[in-house]
Amino acid sequence: METTIRKILFMIFSIISMQYLSVESADNQLTLNGSTIYGNFLADIYRVELFVSKKTRQAEEIISSSAPKLIKLTFLLDIGQDRLKQSWLKTLEMALGNEFNNYSSSIEKFISQISDIREKDTMELYFEGSILKIFLNNSLMAEIQNKIFTHAVFAIWLGNHPIAKKTKEGLLGLL
């Protein structure tokens, strides 16, 4: 019941405030394109928001653009380091497919920075061209420069095989 109420309140807030939310990043102003809650059948895991320089409902337009974009994850529960690392590895393996082993240094750099997550912690993934900057609670954790890896991480949410169809629809503002 509480989870359903939280989802409804979040959706109402998102609809009302979506046109007003923006993020300043470097010299670029990014606007909220869409947001949703990601979870599984047991629990809501995080709220995910997509900020872009130009709003669109076309995933391919966002993915193919070298313009800055930001995925913000606000965690809704505590997650231990080991569990979080396993989840990221599994998700990256699905995103990279047969190319997974070719990006072991980028994956290791990314995974090595993961620590325990507490409820309300934020992880921001800032994408610009071939660069991925990862922030935890506004502190830079890692910077990875690898175009294919960066593209694969972003595709987790908006690619042809996203982590969840509803998540992709929410980020595109279709829900």
DSSP sequence for 107-162? HHHHHHT---B-TT-EEEEEEETTEEEEEETTEEEEEEE-HHHHHHHHHHHHSSS-
Domain that holds residue 152: 2-171
Residue 154 CA to residue 132 CA, distance in Å, equals 9
Specify the pLDDT at position 70: 97
What's the pLDDT at 16?
38
pLDDT tens string 120-148: 999 999 999 999 999 999 999 999 999 98
Collapse the DSSP code of 33 into the 3-class scheme (helix H, G, I; strand E, B; otherwise coil) and give the result: strand
- Would you say residue 17 has pLDDT above 90? no
Please state, in angstroms and rounded to a whole number, the distance separating the CA atoms of residues 9 and 92.
31
For the segment 31-83, what is each residue's pLDDT rounded down to a tens digit? 999 999 999 889 999 999 999 999 999 999 999 898 999 999 999 999 999 99
Model confidence, pTM = 0.82
pLDDT in tens, 94-117: 888 888 888 888 899 989 989 999
13 falls in which pLDDT band (50, 70, 90)? very low
Give the domain CATH number at 92. Answer: 3.50.70.10
Q: What is the mean pLDDT of residues 149-168?
A: 91
What does the alpha-carbon distance between residue 162 and residue 167 come to, in Å, rounded to a whole number?
A: 8
What six digits make up the tokens of 16?
A: 């009302």
**Residue 3 confidence class, pLDDT cut points 50, 70, 90:** low
What's the total number of domains in the chain?
A: 1
Q: Please report the pLDDT score of residue 1 as a whole number.
A: 53
* Closest to 149 measured CA to CA, from 97, 81, 74, 84: 97
